[in-house]
Amino acid sequence: MKNKNFKVLTCLILLCIIFINSFLQCFAFDKENSNNVDLFVSKANNNIINSNSESTADEIGETTSFALDSVVVQMTNEASLELKDYSVSDFSEVDAISVEDLTEYSTEKIKEQRKNDIEDDKNNVSTVSENDFYQTLEIKLSTNDIEGINRAINALDKRDDIINVQPNYICKAASVPNDTCKNDQYAIEKMELNDAWNLTTGNHSFKVGIIDTGINRKNPDLVNRYDAKLSKSFVDSYSSDVSGYDEHGTHVAGIIGAEGNNAKGIAGVCWDVSLVSLRTAEDNGDSYNTNVIKAIEYAKKNNIKLLNFSSCGVDYDESFKNAIKSYKGLIICSSGNNYKNLDSSFNSYPTEYRLPNVISVGSCDYYDVNQDYSNYSPNFVDLVAPGEGILSTYSNSYIYKSGTSMAAPQVTGVAALIWSKYPNLSVAEVKAAILNNVDKVSYLKDKVKTGGRLNAFKALSSIENKKYTVRYNSNGGLGSMDDLTIIYGKTTCMDQN
């Protein structure tokens, strides 16, 4: 009897184990399916991005930082060099309603270079290197949900001619509203701008592209600085001179280039400059990366070699990175307003792309204190600039705003001053002039790469004070001069001391 009871008990236990195991397997399968909508595959970096492994599709949708109606693909270099004009029929595996070539300008430029047998010019923003060219496409979908995005990414990822497929990520404007007013533009004193302006106040022929919410050119300090011919909106239904999201772009524009010495309002860092509005942001201040890529392509086409991007995103975006990498000008971006150490798990892009043509800027106040909203990192953020309580243009008036959005255009203005006076300098030389001549601040030692705050006069005068030694190889002559023009029929070489 005991043996019979034991056998029955054993059978019951085994049945329970089988039942529990089956239940767990079903649960695991359901969880995997639930999480599948979070997985976005990138062939380029062999990385899987998981927004939140415990979230349901509905929960993720509420906090999404990408568009729900489109995906972005990058073709391989081999496929890209075919310069194909893609259409919906080329992507039959997804429910596409349109295909837009975000690198349309580069495609046309390569055709032009091939036709005219033009070699790549590393110092010309508008030329395109075929070795670094990856055709980037935005595919609009008939669906408008995360499941549709996931299906499209999984389907396109199987193609051999696509190197990267991803969502259309969003960058956020990086300003912090602040009603506290100060009596003057303290950045003029901190950055020694009065001394810098004795060297140059700018050059109206030099163009600065402002990738933002648009510029309201009605402000009296911007009306003579706004480049209406080149300004362009990449947002449907909005013109380039309409500034949404609390006039964010207008405020940024004034910091860079508000007209100076006109007995009105404020003076921008670079008094005399052409401001090109490149509107990429919706009314809420969000910029889809696809619009930003198109703005960068437009800057290439029009040889705009300096861009201000007072925004940032938290998602790694290979297509966005490649667009910046292929641009031969300089981009100044904000580090972001999350008061995070970017050496931790928190991310901010394009700051963390580690590209040589990007300067990332954090925000400080009059006392050079890194503000409690400014992201920092001694590895990723290059320097700080005044960003707290900055007075600038706003509609027909002026207002104080704070944020890394206000710090970045201070640096952009200085870069514009340098290039206005020394137009033949390379991106590397302008960047070095700015970063190698900051005012060192002990508090910033572990906050930013340079350990310092922007100084306009030091940056400009570092170039002004350079001396050169010229060697004439034919006769061995040697000499040093402050200013020098060489007209000589033999081989010469110039060394910077």
Whether 251 sits among the annotated catalytic residues: the reply is no
d(CA 169, CA 277): 22
- CB distance 125 to 329 below 8 Å: yes
Task: Give the 3-state secondary structure of 178-234.
Answer: CCCCCCCCHHHHHCCHHHHHHHCCEEEEEEEEEEECCCCCCCCCCCCCECCCCCEEC
d(CA 386, CA 366): 7
- From 38, 101, 212, 315, active-site residue: 212
Sign of CA dihedral 133, 139, 144, 150: negative
**Integer-rounded Cα radius of gyration of the chain:** 27
Whether 236 sits among the annotated catalytic residues: the reply is no
DSSP code at position 341: B
Whether 248 sits among the annotated catalytic residues: the reply is yes
**Token digits of residue 129:** 């290197």
- From 221, 231, 233, 248, active-site residue: 248
In angstroms, the first-to-last Cα distance of the chain is: 103
d(CA 386, CA 374): 11
**Token digits of residue 235:** 């947002």
What SS3 class is residue 91? helix
- From 106, 319, 363, 405, active-site residue: 405
**Token digits of residue 444:** 């910033």
Active site residues: 212, 248, 405
